[in-house]
Structures are given as C-alpha cells and as structure tokens.
Amino acid sequence: DQQVKQNSPSLSVQEGRISILNCDYTNSMFDYFLWYKKYPAEGPTFLISISSIKDKNEDGRFTVFLNKSAKHLSLHIVPSQPGDSAVYFCAAKVWGSQGNLIFGKGTKLSVKP
C-alpha cells in the first residue's frame, strides 16, 4: 500500500515556464514533507521541505505547497531551467519517527530549451 504517491511518472516543460510536480499521501500522521532531486547513478539531493503546520515554503525558484485537507503537496519550479531535468521524489516523515522517510516513486522532469 503506497502511502506516498506520485501519479505522474514524467513531465515535460519548456524552459522558462513553470514546472508543477504533484504528490498525494494517505497517512494523516505525516508531519514533515520533503522534495528531493536525483540524477542517474547519484544519491538524491535535498531541495526543500515543509512542516505540516505550514501551507507554503519558498526557497528561490522552488516553492512547496501543502494542502492537508486534500492530503496533497506540490513543488513549483519557476522559471524552469534545463539543469532542472532530473527525477524528483516526494517524501514524508511520520510524526515521532526518527527521520524514517517514505518516498514516492518519483517523477522524471524534462525541461526543454
């Protein structure tokens, strides 16, 4: 049973436009959400996170939105750049756990020049 779902395996966006990556979750005990970026044959790189007590967190071109009632979060990248092309993973942490993250299967973003 997938607790963190990324229903779009891939997304293609034109350079300069907005990229929106989506993630849905089922566990109401998640208290922290994260986005990671991963290139092939490398470890994931932490991008941005959000606590369940907030609904938005922004860091440069990256903004994460959390809708707790819908159990949905999204990552917005504006403007998108070719170097953003990678697989993006959504992850969540259960309240009280020791940082054990539950990951979605990832969305491959392709930003075309």
Partner 1 sequence: SQTIHQWPATLVQPVGSPLSLECTVEGTSNPNLYWYRQAAGRGLQLLFYSVGIGQISSEVPQNLSASRPQDRQFILSSKKLLLSDSGFYLCAWSPTGNEAFFGQGTRLTVV
Residues contributing to the site for partner 1 (CB under 8 A): 4, 32, 34, 36, 41-46, 49, 89, 91, 93, 97-106
Q: Closest CB to partner 1 among 36 and 63?
A: 36
Cα distance between residue 34 and residue 47, in whole Å: 8
Q: Closest CB to partner 1 among 6 and 63?
A: 6
Q: Closest CB to partner 1 among 13 and 87?
A: 87
Kindly list the distances between the CA atom of residue 99 and the CA atoms of 5, 94, 95, in Å, as whole numbers in the listed order. 19, 8, 9
Residue type, 63: T
Cβ at position 52, least distance to partner 1 in Å:
11
Cβ at position 63, least distance to partner 1 in Å:
17
Q: Closest CB to partner 1 among 49 and 110?
A: 49
- Tokens for 77? 């990248």
Cβ at position 8, least distance to partner 1 in Å:
14
* Contacts for 39 with CB less than 8 Å, ≥ 6 apart: 86, 87
Cα distance between residue 47 and residue 90, in whole Å: 10
Cβ at position 5, least distance to partner 1 in Å:
10
